[in-house]
Amino acid sequence: MPPIRLAIVGFGKIARDQHVPAIATTPGIALTAIASHDGGLEGIPYFKTLDHLLSEGPQIDAVALCTPPQVRRAQAEVALAAGKHVLLEKPPGATVSEIAPLVAQAQRAGRTLFATWHSRFAPAVEPARAFLAERTLRAVTIAWKEDVRIWHPGQAWIWEPGGLGVFDPGINALSILTEILPRPIFLTRAELAFPANRAAPIAADLDFSDTNGLAIHAEFDFRQTGPQSWDILVETADGVLVLSKGGAELAHDGKKLVETPEAEYRGIYRRFVELIAGGMSDVDLVPLQHVADAFMLGRRTLVEPFED
C-alpha cells in the first residue's frame, strides 16, 4: 500500500519538534504538505491556510490539526467534508459537545477521526496500567508543575477561553490517570486560580474519587520555577508506584521499572496508520470532560496579573 499522504495544519513548536520527526520514522505515512501562518519546512509544499491547501495543493489523504483548540472543530469539519482523515492534537477541541458532530460526520464519510492523547503513549503508561490492575489502591497524588514562560512562550491563545490555561498540560496528567486506573473517576472539588488579566487559570487544585472511595489529589501550576514536575504517585497495598517525567519513567518502591527515551508521537502516528487501515475512529473525550467539570464545579480566585 502507498503511504498515507499527510498535511500538517498549524506549524508551531509541537509540530516542528514532535510531529515532523515522528512522521519521518513511522512506516505507512509521509508528510506531503503544510498549511500554517507560522511558515513551513524546506522542501515541503506550503500554504497559508487549510482552504488554500485543499484547493491548490497536492493530493493528500489526511490532515494533522496542530492549531489552537479554538479553531480545530471548524478545520476538522472542512477536512472531513473534503474526504480527508483527521488527527486532532490534544485537547481535541475547545468544548466537549463540539466533537460529537465530527464523530458523526467522520462515520458518514467513512473516514478516520483520531483524538490523540500523546501522553498515553509514554513508555511507562502501559506497564503502570498493568501493575495497578492487580493491586489494591490507597491514594493517588499528582504534581504537574511547569514554568509557562519556558514551555508556552508567546502562546496567547492558551490564556483565552477554550485555551484551557494550566489545563493544557494538566490534561496530559488526566489522560494518563484515566488510562492507568482500573475504575472511572469523578471530580469532587476544584480550586482554580485566575490571573486578574487572563481568561484561563494559571493553577488548579483538584480532588477526584472513584466508586471505591479512592482519594486522588492533583495540583497543576504554571508558576513553577526551578525543577519542573510531571509526576503521578500511586500508593498501593504493595508499595508506591511513581510515574515521572510525564510517563517516561516508572519506579516501584524506588526501583526503576521503566526508563525509556520519549517516543510518544511515534506511537500516535502508528495508531493513526492502524486506524485508517482498519476503517476506524478513536475519540475518547474523558480527559476533556474532567476539565469541563473543573470549570463547572471549581471555585475561582483571582491572583496577581500574569505578564509574558
Active-site positions read 90
Q: Which amino acid is at 12?
A: G
Q: Strand pairing partners for 142?
A: 218, 232
Question: SS3 of 290, please?
Answer: helix
Q: For strand 137-145 and strand 186-195, is the pairing parallel, antiparallel, or unpaired?
A: unpaired
Instruction: Give me the helices (H) in the chain, please.
Output: 13-14, 20-24, 50-56, 69-81, 100-109, 125-133, 148-151, 167-180, 264-278, 286-297
Helix axes 167-180, 125-133, angle to 10 degrees: 40
**Is the CB of residue 94 less than 8 Å from the CB of residue 162?**
yes
